Structure 1
Amino acid sequence: MIIEFRCDREQARLWMRRETLRVNDQDIPVQFAWTTTPGSHPAGLEALFELERIVLRKGKAGGADRLKTIPERPRAGSPDVVVDFTSAARDPKCSAKLYLRPRFNGCAGENAALAAVLAGDLPVIEIVNELDGTIMDRGHPSAEIAAGLSGGLEAVMARTLSMLTPILSGAPRLVPQLAAPANSGAAPNPTPFVVRGVATSIAKEIYRLCCYAPHWHVGWRYAENADVWRTGDLSGPAWNVLGDPGNRFYADPFPVTWQGRTFVFFEDLDHRIGKGIISAIEFDGNGPVGKVLPVLEEPWHLSYPFLIENDGELWMIPESTAHRDVPLYKCIRFPDKWERHATLLSGLELADVTITQHDGLYYMFGAWRDGTGGYSDTLAIYYAERLLGPWRPHASNPVLMDRATARPAGNFVAVDGRLWRPVQDCTNGYGAALGLAEVLELSPTTYRQAVRHLLKPGPLWTGRKLHTLNRCGQLEVIDGSRVQPKTAALLASLRSSDRPSQSDWHSALAKPIARRLH
């Protein structure tokens, strides 16, 4: 197979240095055809991108940076597949069997992508086969790590490349219906946008200097028959907040009753070092009792402690994307002793792994990332006959690219014979809301879901975010985030048993100030 990328010389960027595409476990070389597309490009765009590189990315290179030298590699011959990133008309003499055109909110070319970002959002991406007009795939990327206009463009192009691989692999595509805003295709003057971006970045740095950000906290209640899955909202008994020492946050709560005792396990992150461990606290029917216990720590960050009972044992699969694997831990002594038992998948970033059983198989859901782009917009599914595997990829992986419905947000729930999954809705930022999605179809080759309810922070659950929902018996738990001033956190920790030393004070206040002064 000969794959050809057609790109505009005037828009030659760092992401175009890709030499291969991974297709059916093989690295297929990519050749380039450089063209010049008629039409204007936003004045001063490259200077503004350079400003963002210096100010927002601290000098680090990014995929939207201009290529100083356009690679002129020899062409292998007439392409079998053309991927045209320009807005130019298709050459009718082209004999390629597949002619793919990425579209951004319905329009082709970099200017269309820029117009969407300048309008305040990343576009819906469509990959269209121009030979017959078929939409091969559709997705909506997330922007949680996109800094400025150049970062938005980089996120869009990274996810566009991610969408090409399964199409060229011949995997069946489950094309979602995603509404795209109207797009003129003409990018307006980007200068005000970039100036606002720089000002916003400075404001965020000041905020981070004064406050721990983000600062998550766990909510709990005994819901009886008024739980979220039955009401479709956050009404019912009032939510209580699990207290934390201020310089640590608690998130991703998973409750379980085991050996006659109920504990809630959660991510426990120390702001002073920026790494999470798994901790737990006991609940007695009225609320939390005793102290928070650390139960699992690794040299790398851990979060989202998914729990599953299997063959008379209790198992945990904490998120460990920093280690690029999906580990399985066995409970040796409940609740505080766990040993790594197996690695279910390796060599990949799969966040918030959540497993359910359906029609005799185990299905593993996770937010997949291939090293680029956002962390919350792409769903991958794996299946196995046993918890220990072997785990095989779903025929349509990645199954879905949609920031509003992809990332898991807690355990699957069966209600009146229907299977449901909570999903993180990152439309307005990471963890901004939570959707309740009904699973309509699930097999090794198919998947369909429909979001029936959307939960947002508000009077019933104060705070700024909401991204995990779980239940055990009558105990229901969620999480959210709040503003946590660093001085208040330090004063609170002084009154706790976890008293900071003089060096902790220096780490929490002096070092951030020094970094920003230099």
Structure 2
Amino acid sequence: MIIEFRCDREQPRLWMCREKLRVNDQDIPVQIAWTTTPEPRPAGLDMLFELERIVLRKGKAGGADGLKALPERPRAGDPDVVIDFTSAERDPDCAARLYLRPRFNGSTGEHAALAAVLAGDLPVIEIVNERDGSVMDRGHPSAEIAAGLSGGLETVIARTLSMLPPILSGAPRLVPQLAAPAISSAPRNPAPFVVRGVATSIAKEIYRLCCYAPHWHIGWRYAENADVWRTGDLSGPAWNVLGDPGNHFYADPVPVKWQGRTFVFFEDLDHRVGKGIVSAIEFDGEGPVGTVMPVLEEPWHLSYPFLIEDNGELWMIPESTAHRDVPLYKCIRFPDKWERHSTLLSGLELADVTITQHNGLHYMFGAWRDGTGGYSDTLAIYYADRLLGPWQPHAANPILMDRATARPAGNFVTIDGKLWRPVQDCSNGYGAALGLAEVLELSPTTYKQAVRRLLRPGPLWSGRKLHTLNRCGQLEVIDGSRVQPKTTAFLASLRSSDRSSQWNWHSAPAKPIARRLH
């Protein structure tokens, strides 16, 4: 197979130097055909991108950086596949069997992608077969790493490139229905956008000097029959907040009852070192008792401690994307001794792994990333006959790219015979809201879901975020974020040190300082 990128010679970018695409576990060479298009080019764009590189990326190179000279690469021959990144007319003499063109909110070329970013959002990406006009795949990327205009363009292109290998592999695509926002075609001046972005970046740096950011905290309550899955919102008994020492945040709560005791496991991140471990605290039917205890630590970051019972044993799968694997830990002594048992999947980034059983199979859901682009927009599914595997990829992996419905947000639940999953809605930023999605189809070759409810922070749950939902019996847990000044955290630690000479930074008083948010 010969793949050819068709690119605009007036707008050469660093990403165009990509020499290979990995398709069906093979590296396929990529050649470039340079084309001149009448596409408008905003004045001073390269200078603005250079300003962003210096200020926003601290001098690091990015895929949207301009090239001073076109890369020279010998042609291998007539292409079998053309991917046209320009807005130029298709060459009628091109004999390639497949002619693909990315569209950004329905329009083609770099200008369309930049117009979407300038309008305040990343575009819906479509890969269109120019031969018959069919949409081969569609996705909406998340913007966690999209710093500024150049970062937005880089993220869009990175996700466009990640959509191509599954199409070229011949695997079935489950094309989601995603509505593209309406954007004015009138050209926008990029300078004010870039200046605002730089100013915002400086303001964030000042904020980080004064506050720990982000600072997540855990909410809990005994919901009885008024839990989120029944009400579809956050109403019911008031939410309490699990106290923390201020210089640690707590997130991703997962409750479990084992050997007659109930514990909530969660990510415990020390702001001072920027690395998370798994900690836990016991609940007694009225609230947390005792102190927070560390239960699992590795040299790399851990979070989202998914728990599952299988064959009379308790197992944990903490998120381990920094180590590029999906590990399985066995509980040796509950709750504080865990032993790494095996590796379920290796050589990949799969965040917030969540497993359910359906029609006799185990299904593993996770937010997949191929090393570029956002962390929360792409869903991958794997399946196995048993928890220990072997795990096989879903026929349509990656299943979908949609920042509003891809990333897991907690355990599956079954209600009236229907399977549901909470999902992170990152449309307005990472962890900004939480959706309740009904699973309509699930097999090794199919998947379909529909979000029925959307939960956002508000009067019932103060804070700026909401991205995890779990339950064990009557105990229901969520999480959120708040502003945490560093001076407040320091004073809190001093007060705690005065109260107890046995204090350690993983300990947090439970009932006495649990606060209600109204």
Q: TM-score normalised to the size of structure 2?
A: 0.96
Answer whether contact 2:217 2:479 (CA < 8 A) is retained.
Answer: yes
Alignment of 1:241-390 (within 5 A): 241-390=241-390
Answer whether contact 2:439 2:450 (CA < 8 A) is retained.
Answer: yes
Does the residue aligned with 1:445 lie in a helix, a strand or coil? coil
Return the offset for 1:298.
0.3
Structure-2 change in CA distance of 1:500 and 1:192 (3 Å): farther
- Aligned residue in 2 for 1:136: 136
Structure-2 change in CA distance of 1:170 and 1:372 (3 Å): same
- Deviation by residue 1:424-482 (Cα, 9 ceiling, x = unmatched): 00000000000000000000000000000000000000000000000000000000000
Distance 1:339 1:279 in 2: 15
Return the offset for 1:185.
5.0
- Aligned residue in 1 for 2:510: none
Aligned identity (percent) is 88
Return the offset for 1:498.
9.8
Answer whether contact 1:106 1:183 (CA < 8 A) is retained.
Answer: no
Aligned pair 1:15/2:15, yes or no? yes
Does the residue aligned with 2:159 lie in a helix, a strand or coil? helix
- Aligned residue in 1 for 2:471: 471
Return the offset for 1:68.
2.5
- Aligned residue in 2 for 1:80: 80
Distance 1:302 1:331 in 2: 16
Distance 2:154 2:184 in 1: 20
Answer whether contact 2:440 2:447 (CA < 8 A) is retained.
Answer: yes
Distance 2:83 2:433 in 1: 35
- Aligned residue in 1 for 2:168: 168
Question: Which is further off, 229-238 or 175-184?
Answer: 175-184
Number of positions where the alignment pairs a residue of Structure 1 with one of Structure 2: 502
Does the residue aligned with 1:112 lie in a helix, a strand or coil? helix
Return the offset for 1:16.
1.0
Does the residue aligned with 1:27 lie in a helix, a strand or coil? strand
Does the residue aligned with 1:405 lie in a helix, a strand or coil? coil
- Deviation by residue 1:36-91 (Cα, 9 ceiling, x = unmatched): 11132000000000000001101000110012332121111111110000000101
Answer whether contact 1:494 1:500 (CA < 8 A) is retained.
Answer: no
Answer whether contact 2:434 2:455 (CA < 8 A) is retained.
Answer: yes
Return the offset for 1:145.
1.1
Answer whether contact 2:40 2:111 (CA < 8 A) is retained.
Answer: no
- Aligned residue in 2 for 1:444: 444
Answer whether contact 2:278 2:294 (CA < 8 A) is retained.
Answer: yes
- Deviation by residue 1:405-425 (Cα, 9 ceiling, x = unmatched): 000000000011000000000
- Aligned residue in 1 for 2:513: none
Return the offset for 1:304.
0.2
Distance 1:422 1:15 in 2: 35
- Deviation by residue 1:116-154 (Cα, 9 ceiling, x = unmatched): 000000000000001000000000000011110000000
Answer whether contact 1:267 1:302 (CA < 8 A) is retained.
Answer: yes
Return the offset for 1:399.
0.2
- Deviation by residue 1:172-208 (Cα, 9 ceiling, x = unmatched): 1111110101235564110000000001001101111
Alignment of 1:445-464 (within 5 A): 445-464=445-464
Distance 1:36 1:103 in 2: 18
Structure-2 change in CA distance of 1:467 and 1:37 (3 Å): same
Answer whether contact 1:220 1:240 (CA < 8 A) is retained.
Answer: yes
Question: Which is further off, 184-193 or 166-175?
Answer: 184-193
- Aligned residue in 2 for 1:230: 230
Matched residue type, 1:124 = V
Answer whether contact 1:112 1:184 (CA < 8 A) is retained.
Answer: no
Matched residue type, 2:122 = L
Answer whether contact 2:404 2:425 (CA < 8 A) is retained.
Answer: yes
- Aligned residue in 1 for 2:511: none
- Aligned residue in 1 for 2:392: 392
- Deviation by residue 1:105-126 (Cα, 9 ceiling, x = unmatched): 0000000000000000000000
Answer whether contact 2:119 2:183 (CA < 8 A) is retained.
Answer: no
Distance 1:380 1:55 in 2: 35
Q: TM-score normalised to the size of structure 1?
A: 0.96
Matched residue type, 1:57 = R
Answer whether contact 2:399 2:447 (CA < 8 A) is retained.
Answer: yes
Answer whether contact 1:14 1:64 (CA < 8 A) is retained.
Answer: yes
Q: Pairwise CA RMSD of aligned residues?
A: 1.4
Alignment of 1:498-517 (within 5 A): none
Distance 1:305 1:263 in 2: 12
Answer whether contact 1:493 1:499 (CA < 8 A) is retained.
Answer: no
- Aligned residue in 1 for 2:515: none
Return the offset for 1:8.
0.4
Distance 1:91 1:497 in 2: 73
Structure-2 change in CA distance of 1:356 and 1:482 (3 Å): same
Distance 2:277 2:288 in 1: 19
- Aligned residue in 1 for 2:56: 56
Distance 1:109 1:144 in 2: 23
Does the residue aligned with 2:86 lie in a helix, a strand or coil? coil
Answer whether contact 2:39 2:87 (CA < 8 A) is retained.
Answer: no
Distance 1:481 1:170 in 2: 42
Matched residue type, 2:126 = E
Return the offset for 1:165.
0.7
Structure-2 change in CA distance of 1:500 and 1:216 (3 Å): farther
- Aligned residue in 1 for 2:124: 124
- Deviation by residue 1:338-379 (Cα, 9 ceiling, x = unmatched): 000000000000000000000000000000000000000000
Matched residue type, 1:488 = T
Structure-2 change in CA distance of 1:186 and 1:27 (3 Å): farther
Question: Which is further off, 11-20 or 246-255?
Answer: 11-20
Does the residue aligned with 2:488 lie in a helix, a strand or coil? helix
Distance 1:183 1:6 in 2: 25
Return the offset for 1:500.
13
Matched residue type, 2:113 = A
Does the residue aligned with 2:332 lie in a helix, a strand or coil? strand
Structure-2 change in CA distance of 1:105 and 1:152 (3 Å): same
Distance 2:184 2:79 in 1: 31
Does the residue aligned with 1:256 lie in a helix, a strand or coil? strand
Distance 2:496 2:160 in 1: 49
Does the residue aligned with 2:10 lie in a helix, a strand or coil? helix
Does the residue aligned with 1:10 lie in a helix, a strand or coil? coil
Distance 1:499 1:346 in 2: 45
- Deviation by residue 1:298-343 (Cα, 9 ceiling, x = unmatched): 0000000000000100000000100000000000000000000000
Does the residue aligned with 1:108 lie in a helix, a strand or coil? coil
Distance 1:485 1:183 in 2: 39
Distance 1:184 1:161 in 2: 26
- Aligned residue in 2 for 1:416: 416
Return the offset for 1:11.
1.3
Question: Which is further off, 28-37 or 68-77?
Answer: 68-77
